[in-house]
Structure 1
Amino acid sequence: MIPVLPSAGAEHVAAGRHGRMSEPRVAIVHYWLVGMRGGERVLERLLALFPGADVFTHVYDPARMSEAIRKSRVTTTWINGLPFARRFYQYYLPLMPMALEQLDLSGYDLVISSESGPAKGVITSPHAHHLCYCHSPMRYLWDHYHLYRRDANPVARAAMPLIYHRMRQWDIASSARVDTVVANSSFIRERVRKFWRREAEVIHPPVDTRMFTPSLDVDERYLWVGQMVPYKRPDLAVEAFNHTGLPLLMVGEGAMLARLQKTAGPNIRFVPRLNFNELREAYARARGLVFTAEEDFGIVPVEAMASGRPVLAYGRGGVLDSVVPGETGLFFDRQSAESLVDGLERFERWLPEFDSRRAIEQSNLFSPEHFDRKMLAAVRRATAAGAPS
């Protein structure tokens, strides 16, 4: 019998800030723990909701994790013991399904898999409920497959068709092991429906919007923040701002950085890394955030809005859930420099209408408290129903 979790009502509020649930034995399966990004922030919040939970992962680098994660009991699969696993873990991707299935989770009542790499394929007790929080179906298997293959080295490019064909079969088969699917955006809900043929509830990831504040001093310079990698499309920003001559600050590191620096005009400044206070100031003083990627959710636009600044974004992906066109920002239609230039011209005309208070109000819809309440409610409904959804 699947345990019915207690109601996330007043008794949970009294128990602690996050409304913690402590009755069931909980396991959280996360794909790999080698750096602090959006998925790891979700894991932190899950650990706050389920403080006694055990964490399972393929590869674990404690030195690169937050204190909240290091304090937890973390168990790795045997992938962690393979040569250079912490650095080259992605080369072991074909072995991860087998490694997941060797984890013994028979003693847990609730299993939450945090899926972006292989995580949901664990074998649980028939009495347990398995909820998958999907950041994205593995994009390198599905819609980004051809991009990844094109950029791979010759050996990997030759091996990928056979290996990834098998992994797609496993990915679909393992999705049937999940009782409840939760997606981090409407965009990911559609991808779950397309690739796994499953329905999913949307619960947006937590963004600590209280960490960001507006500024009375706003610069003329636009801001771009992210990794300098192909799918983030920093090249669009460089090409468009080369054309317009508008000032732009680009913050981020990655394989494309050196090439972009060579092609950028004097109006574009690159900073590989900012500390948190510097990033907060960059957000708050920016004329606007330029967001060129098609992201699963996109935390950066929410952080910009929390800083009281508008967003000009490519109008696809998770940003459709966060940016309100005509109120907190605008969209451009195509991932091309021409479309971005057109968007910048419209953005400049629209800026006098922008109200920073509306952007801050919108950003607060993605606060950690919203995530807590919705996740607790989803778990309570799922475990009470005791059936796949």
Structure 2
Amino acid sequence: MPSAAHPLPAQQIAYVHEWLTEWGGSEDVVRAMLGAVPGQTLFATIDFLKDADRRKFGGIPIRTTFLQKAPGARSRFWNYLPVTPLAVETHDLRGADLIVSSSHAFAKGVLTTGEQLHISYVHSPMRYAWDLHHQYLADYGLQRGLKGSLARYIFHRLRVWDRQTSHNVDLFLANSRHVQRRIWRAYRRPAKVLYPPVATHRFGFSAQKADHYVTVSRLVNYKRIDLMLEAFRSLPSRKLVVIGDGPEMPRLRAMCPPNVELMGWQPAEAVERHLQAARAFLFAAYEDFGISPIEAQACGTPVIAYGAGGSLETVRAGGAPQPTGLYFNEQSAAALAQAVQDFEAMGSAFDPHACREWAERFGEERFQRKFAQVVDQSWQAWRHDPASVETRLIGPMEPAPT
């Protein structure tokens, strides 16, 4: 796709990302941003991407911090969490007039000057310091003892730093209305919603469906794949295919019922085939946005999703015309099993063509066009009156696509 018009030469624009360890959704957002508004340099705390992934950024130079050479930074980066704010503050951005940060933890905390416009695209405020603080402590056995006390103190300091550095941002962009509310809770700052890009054009459509259900996910605790396995244990006549790998795989294999197939990692072509053929896609996580349900809908496949967080924006359900899925309102195996039965009872209510049409509203071209517009409007407002950027760009809250 040709680059959209942008207000500044690329050499005056710097991008900041958290860390580059493996390719994921936030990296894809930065790739799409660079395609819409090219920049001179991409800053990140560390960079251990594969060369093939690094090239997706279009050859932009990547600058890292002292953590790049820290012992074990590649495999044990979380050990350096207490000093990551310091690392981020070492990014030297003095050559840029416009700074765009892609932040789910620290990137928005870069040091800026009064002559620089800073737009921060927030995938999420720091989860382990805010919303998921107590869950994180419980998951890692840090609820009590000396280690627990130290962890609580570290997270307390991170919250103070996180809120303080929110003042370095002139305009917040949120990847969903759910994150928009979390930004307000953490920073008491409004944000403009810009849904992240989903490569819907890469997924082929199919109206022909088989009998099995599918999910595609990294196998980590909060994705709640265990909940799906227990739900299908109670539905022995249905089949579930689970695609993905991760640290939860051994536990999931131990509890897997015979009607669930754990396929592990699969190439993109195999993932697409399963998404196209599935009766429905299952999504049990409490996510800020969630790209995989949109990819499934791009294939013409409806979604059965936990009705909280970003799912409320990415799946059209709840009695809406031309529904693209349905919600279950409790994160439990029983609620999911009932939702599967409700889905089957609704029969032809879910039109594959409606699913595809809905998914295309989250496409990459739409994101790049809107991002370029925001950058242009922000820069014009900044030149007129730096204090007016937020008020000029954020009017009524942007609704979910209809």
Q: Which TM-score bucket, shorter chain as reference?
A: over 0.9
Conserved? CA contact 2:206–2:352, under 8 Å: no
**Residue 210 of structure 2, aligned match among 194, 203, 219:** 219
Aligned counterparts of 1:52 and 1:30: Cα–Cα separation in 2: 13
Aligned counterparts of 1:351 and 1:133: Cα–Cα separation in 2: 40
The answer as to 2:79 corresponding to 1:83 is no
Cα offsets for 1:295-338 (capped at 9, x unmatched): 11100000000000000000111111111005100000010111
Equivalent residue runs for 1:9-28 within 5 Å: 17-21=2-6, 22-23=8-9, 25-28=12-15
The answer as to 2:276 corresponding to 1:289 is no
Percent identity of paired positions between Structure 1 and Structure 2: 36
Conserved? CA contact 1:55–1:75, under 8 Å: yes
Q: Which amino acid aligns with 2:342?
A: R
Aligned counterparts of 2:113 and 2:61: Cα–Cα separation in 1: 20
Q: Give the match for residue 333 of structure 1.
A: 329
**Residue 304 of structure 1, aligned match among 291, 296, 309:** 296
Conserved? CA contact 1:313–1:332, under 8 Å: yes
Cα offsets for 1:134-185 (capped at 9, x unmatched): 0000101111111211222667534211111001000000011100000001
Aligned counterparts of 1:379 and 1:198: Cα–Cα separation in 2: 19
The answer as to 2:181 corresponding to 1:190 is yes
Conserved? CA contact 1:189–1:202, under 8 Å: yes
Shift of 1:62: 3.4
Q: Give the match for residue 346 of structure 2.
A: 350
Going from structure 1 to structure 2, the CA distance change for 1:283 and 1:31 (only over 3 Å counts) comes to same
Shift of 1:73: 0.4
Cα offsets for 1:193-252 (capped at 9, x unmatched): 111111001101101101111235421110011122111111110111101121000111
| Equivalent position SS for 1:32 | coil
The answer as to 2:98 corresponding to 1:110 is yes
| Equivalent position SS for 1:62 | coil
Equivalent residue runs for 1:35-54 within 5 Å: 35-54=22-41
Conserved? CA contact 2:22–2:49, under 8 Å: no
Which ranges in structure 1 are unaligned for 5 or more consecutive residues? Answer: 1-15
Conserved? CA contact 1:62–1:70, under 8 Å: no
Question: Which stretch of structure 1 is more off in the superposition, 283-292 or 263-272?
Answer: 263-272
Q: Give the match for residue 395 of structure 2.
A: none
Going from structure 1 to structure 2, the CA distance change for 1:219 and 1:156 (only over 3 Å counts) comes to farther
Q: Give the match for residue 12 of structure 1.
A: none
Cα offsets for 1:116-149 (capped at 9, x unmatched): 1210111112111000000000101111111211
Question: Which stretch of structure 1 is more off in the superposition, 287-296 or 222-231?
Answer: 222-231
Conserved? CA contact 2:3–2:36, under 8 Å: yes
Shift of 1:115: 0.4
Aligned residues: 374
Runs of 4+ displaced beyond 3 Å = 153-158
Question: Which stretch of structure 1 is more off in the superposition, 215-224 or 92-101?
Answer: 215-224
Conserved? CA contact 1:108–1:125, under 8 Å: no
Shift of 1:104: 1.5
Shift of 1:70: 6.7
Cα offsets for 1:24-66 (capped at 9, x unmatched): 6111110000111000000111121233331000010132634
Q: Give the match for residue 200 of structure 2.
A: 209
Aligned counterparts of 2:333 and 2:361: Cα–Cα separation in 1: 31
Question: Which stretch of structure 1 is more off in the superposition, 206-215 or 303-312?
Answer: 206-215
The answer as to 2:162 corresponding to 1:176 is no
Aligned counterparts of 2:358 and 2:296: Cα–Cα separation in 1: 11
Conserved? CA contact 1:213–1:280, under 8 Å: yes
Q: Give the match for residue 394 of structure 2.
A: none
Aligned counterparts of 1:54 and 1:66: Cα–Cα separation in 2: 13
Q: Give the match for residue 252 of structure 2.
A: 260
**Residue 59 of structure 1, aligned match among 46, 51, 68:** 46
Q: Give the match for residue 366 of structure 2.
A: 370
Which ranges in structure 2 are unaligned for 5 or more consecutive residues? Answer: 391-402
Q: Give the match for residue 72 of structure 1.
A: 60
| Equivalent position SS for 1:85 | coil
Question: Which stretch of structure 1 is more off in the superposition, 55-64 or 231-240?
Answer: 55-64
Shift of 1:18: 3.0
**Residue 312 of structure 2, aligned match among 313, 320, 323:** 320
The answer as to 2:124 corresponding to 1:124 is no
Aligned counterparts of 1:29 and 1:351: Cα–Cα separation in 2: 47
Compute the RMSD of aligned alpha carbons: 1.5
Q: Give the match for residue 234 of structure 1.
A: 225
Conserved? CA contact 2:23–2:49, under 8 Å: no
Q: Which amino acid aligns with 2:162?
A: D
Conserved? CA contact 1:18–1:369, under 8 Å: no
Going from structure 1 to structure 2, the CA distance change for 1:196 and 1:275 (only over 3 Å counts) comes to same
Shift of 1:23: 2.3
Question: Which stretch of structure 1 is more off in the superposition, 81-90 or 294-303?
Answer: 81-90
Conserved? CA contact 2:211–2:278, under 8 Å: yes
Aligned counterparts of 2:70 and 2:108: Cα–Cα separation in 1: 21
| Equivalent position SS for 2:101 | strand
